[in-house]
Structure 1
Amino acid sequence: MIGYSTAIGLSEFGDDSIDHSPIIGWAYDGNPIYGPYGFANANGTGPVVRMETSYRIRNITDRHTLPDGTVLSQNEWGPPINNTYPLGAYNEDYEYVANLGHLNEYNGRMCVTPEYPQGTFAYFSTRDAAGIAEYPYLVGPNYYGVLETANTGMGGGHLPPPPSATDYAPFELGLSQSTTGGNSQLAIAGAPSNTTVRIAYSLAGMDGINTPYGVAALSMPVALLPPMQSNAQGMATMSVNITPNLSGVTVYMQAVSNPGSATGMLSLPERVTIL
């Protein structure tokens, strides 16, 4: 996909800023391009927010250097900065600042989306708070993946990602059975290897709670289960007793690895209705 419209992300694309944006196209490296709205957290939790670019206008008074600091010879200088050629008129007027926004230098991120619950690399159509398309618009100066040559030129068409592409393995949890009257296995997968994992649960919903690790998809009050230790494969299990009085109750759960540390990470949330 090589074009864009300043209307991308507006209602004509089925995008209402309340739900996650739909896929609006595919990049030539096989990765999806979404409208401007995504989940606040890359693991699919938190509210839907506008994805902010990590590019910004450079603080320059002339076009004698490139964003990486390269000094240009005089015959390579860009035009003077004026009303005819204001800052922002050229790609070289922008610089990338890591973690300035949600997205990386490719104008995307590895994340969970409605179409990819296991995660994918996704580009986003960036726009500012006023709804105006914002650099780099769709895809950054470079593609995240390998540009398939069959996707370009005369007769080019979309190809899927190559078999060598690495899948995103989410940190998730699940219950082996959700019926009353016995024990069930509460399982963790995709956690960091050999780390402490705590599971929190709520019976009140998943409105969102701010934590040091991001927004947890739980509502207060919240209770904690005993800690578990993940193995070398990032897996852990715990036996839980599902008593008859829980029949018909919906339980909302989410785990955190390395609780209390700067490397703590939330899992994908889980919702189970006991039968």
Structure 2
Amino acid sequence: MARLEPIPAYQDNYIWFLQDGESSIVVDPGDAAPVLARLGDARPNAILITHHHWDHIDGLPELHARWPDVPIFAPDDPRIAIATHRVTEGDVVEIGPWRFDVLAVPGHTLSHIAYSTDQLLFCGDTLFSLGCGRLFEGTPAQMLASLDRLAALPGDTTVCCTHEYTASNARFALAVDPANAALQRRVEDVAALRGRGEPTLPTTIASERACNPFLRSDAPEIRSMLEQRLGHSPADRVEAFAALRSWKDDFR
């Protein structure tokens, strides 16, 4: 049976480790030390990279030096200096028992990709539990389209986000969507998990559809909150999403 494990790194990053028998992969190793500590003398079959930010790739030089024959799959972006395979929308990555579809999900960065297989999603910083990534390079329209795409995956898809942001995201989600009973239950679960020192991840697409305001920007109750904030009704879905993301950027 496959084992899925978030390896903590830095203050709030997770490096994902997936293992099934003798096959394993590492996703977004921003730091080599916790990966090497977790794997010991073992080595993965591959390393997957979702985007170029330092906290997702800075472990690559040391890991590549340790395992020069391990393939590294990454977006076609020169800011990721170490990669053996450049992948983009429509490509397929086959590793051991897994067959990953590569999805282009621009927004957080322009070259951001996700890896999806058998109801398992490695989404980097595009989708967080109860939140989404900041728009450092992409447009609101791009990020909304990327989130729509991920939200359309099967509800039981396991979502592997790469930051422990859920508790802070929950505060904003409750401000935007205070009457959402599913969100209230999720917030209670998050508080219990963090109280025990446990990760709030992975999550599921079904949970995020029900609770995440960035996947619910079309909901009447959220549109009403946005109208109050903006002083007018958003003209379309993109304006609504952009207003929501801007609100989160300024939320304290």
- Structure with greater proportional strand content: 1
- Structure with greater proportional helix content: 2
Q: What TM-score results when the alignment is normalised by the length of structure 2?
A: 0.29
Which fold has the larger relative contact order, with Cα–Cα distance below 8 Å and residues 6 or more apart in sequence?
A: 1
Q: What TM-score results when the alignment is normalised by the length of structure 1?
A: 0.27
